[in-house]
Amino acid sequence: MTAPATPVRVFLVDDHALFRSGVRAELDRSVPDLTVVGEAGSVAEAVAGIAHLHPDVVLLDVHMPDGGGAEVLRKVRLVQPDVVFLALSVSDAAEDVIAVIRAGARGYVTKTISGRELADAVRRVRAGDPVFSPRLAGFVLDAFSDRPGAAPPTDPELDRLTRRERDVLRLLARGYSYREIAGELFISVKTVETHVSSVLRKTQMSNRYELSRWATDRRLV
Amino acid sequence: MHRRRSGRLVAGVAGGIADHLGVKVLWVRAAFVALMAVSGAGVLAYGLLWIFVRQEAVTVERPVPARERQQALGLAALGLGVGMAASALGNSTLGWVVGPLGVAIAGAAVVWREADEAQRRRWAGAGARPGWRAALLRVVAGALFVAAGIAVFLLGNLDMGQVQFGLLAVLATLVGVAVITVPWWVRLVRDLGEERSERIREAERAEIAAHLHDSVLQTLALIQRQSDSPREVARLARGQERELRTWLYGPGGYRRPGASDLADAGLTDALAAAAAEVEDTYALSVRPVVVGGDRTLDDDLRALVLAAREAMVNAAKHAGVQEVSVFAEVEPDEVNVFVRDRGAGFDPDAVPDDRHGLEDSVRGRMARHGGSVRLRSRAGEGTEVHLRMPTAVAAVEEKEHTS
């Protein structure tokens, strides 16, 4: 990974000031190629701040008053589609994870993640690659599984994972990094990234019952 | 929908409907007048709405133009006129309404209006009630109206023996009392409902408070006392996080009470429990991910969970990492579990003979139940233990499904 010439501009959205300052201190202190340019504690503040500061990556809390992270995603993505979101939350319940991913987040990590891993995840979404935690990979595998009794897919292109995508997800769920997956499947890291991007696109666009159910639980679709 | 408090002519019913439907109040009033022509249904509709629609709790200031007031009064008079005209044309129901029963209705209206006022004062929390004498007078006058109206109605319409008249008089009195006390009955029922929901909320709050006290506050106290040992703090925090998460989102927890007990725990719960145990004992993070649905435990799967637990313990002891990944995939004919760490790793061939953990409790246990173990490890690149257990139960279930 080559360090970019200018640092990645990060914006923090979380309604807990304590958590914001913790992340800010951690990123500012130990990660030279990331700078926290601003933070917000509410949906309205976040929308205004992101419009004003134009950050590269927004670290977004899922649970907030007034609609939560999904509301920020919806409002900002209409006007600034180039801003990348990485969801960050204490919850790793299926409906939360799937809901923000479908609202347009490029990845999802839980708040227990270490500072180094968080910085990695930020760089990765900045570079255009999705970040799937093992748990998210497990959810997506489950949502796309063809169990007996599941509704038949309506759009085969979007509602099915290819065999290769399934293999990649399985290895992600086992805790493999992209590089390790590439070695395991004898493909290039670039190909792994392509597969994961394709899975992300399907997760966001597919109308498979499990996905839309989790999303509609949060009134997103 | 709420009845208007300000800018009302009788009880604010028409205004309330206008607010609710977003139309001009004039149209609503006109509709009531039109309904008067249909056997006086306008009065009935108005009365029922008065009873069942609450008045607004906060008085909204509405400037009422003099013209609107005049229009309203005109419409009320028109409604009365329509009623009378209809009765003159021989509608017997209306004859009663504009006759003696009309008096009773007017009396009831006065009493109910007074009840609205009384409720207002209660909401306002005013102890002293100026003008209570006048209020009492109004209530008494209203009650008299009701009684007189009903009495005249009976005398005018009935011609019967004394006994029957006595019975009817008693009945009429009861009806009169019922009509007058309608507002209080309604309030009683509403207060009961409010009290019950308040009690439910209170119980909910108490449950959450009790749980937070038992778990979170205790853990925070422990953390403060152990603050010099980061390892212990991490262990406590992780355990508490897991416990709270289970309570919030898990089966049998706060959101889905009674959904499941640990007595019939499936593979998912058993793996989670094993991971939790290892987390607590070795102060590192073990997050199991299970896909493909749950499976009830049988002897084979129990052995699989125990073997997986042993693999986690090995990783915790020897890998020197903070995190162990556990991934289980349930397939129709087999269950695969992967336990992986990114730690020190080792050369499987160079393991000294005295380390029986892997050989006995993992490989031996799996082999006895028809499963297999694959081990991948290289010094410096971590270790992955792949446990595979074929299952027979699923095949039976599958057959039951298709037949």
B383-390 and A8-13 beta bridge pairing: unpaired
Nearest CA in chain B to A172: B327
Q: Would B218 be classed as within a structural domain?
A: yes
Q: Is the dihedral of CA B142, B145, B146, B147 positive or negative?
A: positive
Q: Which long-range contacts (CB under 8 A, 24 or more apart) does B60-67 make?
A: B60/B4, B60/B5, B60/B6, B61/B6, B62/B4, B62/B6, B62/B7, B62/B15, B63/B7, B64/B6, B64/B7
Q: SS3 for B146-190, per residue?
A: HHHHHHHHHHHHCCCCHHHHHHHHHHHHHHHHHHHCHHHHHHHHH
Regarding whether B79 and B189 lie in a shared domain, the answer is yes
B contacts of A134 (beta carbons < 8 Å): 287, 289, 325, 327
pLDDT at B254 (0 to 100) = 56
For residue B349, the model assigns a pLDDT of 67
> Whole-prediction pTM value?
0.61
- Note whether B37 and B24 are within 8 A (CB): no
Amino acid B108: pLDDT: 79
Q: Do B292 and A134 touch (CB under 8 A)?
A: no
- The structure tokens 């709270």 sit at B244
Among B176, B194, B212, where does a domain finish?
B194
Residue pLDDT, tens place only, B23-72: 888 888 888 888 877 776 777 788 888 878 877 777 777 777 777 778 88
- Whether residue B4 lies inside any domain: the answer is no
Phi, psi angles (nearest 5°) of residue B270: -65, -45
Mean local confidence (pLDDT), B119-137 = 66
Q: What is the mean pLDDT of residues A144-159?
A: 67
Same domain, B116 and B249: no
- pLDDT (0 to 100) of residue B179: 76
Q: Please state, in angstroms and rounded to a whole number, the distance separating the CA atoms of residues B193 and A79.
A: 47
Helix (H) / strand (E) element for B325: namely strand B323-330
- On whether residue B120 sits in a domain, the answer given is yes
For residue A1, the model assigns a pLDDT of 47
Pairing verdict, β B323-330 and B334-341: antiparallel
Closest to A93 (Cβ–Cβ): which among B249, B290, B340? B249
B380, B283: one domain: yes
CATH no., domain A137-216 = 1.10.10.10
Mean pLDDT of B142-158: 74
Mean pLDDT of B340-351: 75
Residue A187 confidence class, pLDDT cut points 50, 70, 90: very high
Residue B394: band (very low, low, confident or very high) from pLDDT cuts 50, 70, 90: very low
* ipTM for the assembly: 0.80
pLDDT at B74: 83
B397 has pLDDT over 60:
no
In a domain, B78, yes or no: yes
Within a domain: B166: yes
Report the residue from A91, A148, A174 with minimal CB separation from B327.
Answer: A174
| pLDDT value for B145 | 77
Instruction: Determine the angle formed by the axes of helices B100-124 and B162-180, rounding to 10 degrees.
Output: 30
B384 and B403 part of one domain: yes
Cβ neighbours of residue B1 closer than 8 Å, sequence gap 6 or more: B16, B17, B19, B20, B53
Q: Are residues B174 and B204 in the same domain?
A: no
Look at residues B260, B278, B294 and tell me which one is the last residue of a structural domain.
B260
pLDDT above 60: residue B249: yes
Q: Would you list the domain boundaries of chain A? A: 8-128, 137-216
Amino acid sitting at position A186: F
Mean pLDDT of chain B: 77
Domain boundary residue, one of B167, B194, B221? B194
What's the angle, vertex CA A125, arms to CA A72 and CA A122, rounded to 5? 85
pLDDT for position B264: 54
Is 70 exceeded by the pLDDT of residue B395? no
Cβ distance of A91 and B241 shorter than 8 Å = no
Bridging pattern class, strands A57-61 and A8-13 = parallel
Which structural domain, as residue segments, surrounds residue B384? Answer: 263-403
B146 and B242 belong to one structural domain = no
The torsion angles phi and psi of B286, rounded to 5 degrees, stand at -125, 110
Q: How far apart are CA B306 and CA B302, in angstroms?
A: 6
Is residue B352 scored above 80 in pLDDT?
no
Given a cut of 70, is residue B189 above it in pLDDT? yes
| Topology (CATH level 3) of domain A8-128 | Rossmann fold (3.40.50)
**pLDDT-above-90 percentage for chain B:** 2
- SS3 state of residue B306: helix
Q: In terms of domains, do B110 and B251 share one?
A: no
A144, closest residue in chain B (CA to CA): B292
Is B245 domain-assigned?
yes
| pLDDT at site B159 | 60
pLDDT for B402 equals 40
Asked whether A59 and A131 are in contact (CB, 8 A), the reply is no
Greatest mean pLDDT among A41-55, B173-187, B225-239, B269-283 lies in A41-55
Per-residue pLDDT at B338: 93
- Range in A94-98, B122-126, B127-131 the model is least confident about: B127-131
Instruction: State both tokens at B62.
Output: 């509405």
Domain count, chain B: 3
Please report how many Cα atoms fall inside a 13 Å half-sphere around the Cα of residue B291, on the Cβ side.
Answer: 25
Same domain (yes/no): B58, B157? yes
Tokens of B356: 């029986």
pLDDT at B103 over 60: yes
- Residue B261 banded pLDDT, cuts 50, 70, 90: very low
Q: Tell me, yes or no, whether B116 and B91 share the same domain.
A: yes
Q: Write the CATH number for B290.
A: 3.30.565.10
User: In the A/B pair of chains, how many CB contacts fall below 8 A?
Assistant: 42
When the pLDDT of each residue in chain A is averaged and rounded to a whole number, the result is 83
| One domain for residues B281 and B317 | yes
Half-sphere exposure of A6 (CA within 13 A, CB side): 6
- Report which secondary-structure segment, H or E, holds B372: strand B372-377
> CB within 8 A of A38, min separation 6: which ones?
A11, A12, A49, A52, A53, A55
User: Tokens 């212990």 — which residue?
Assistant: B232
Q: Given a cut of 80, is residue B219 above it in pLDDT? A: yes
pLDDT score of A149: 56
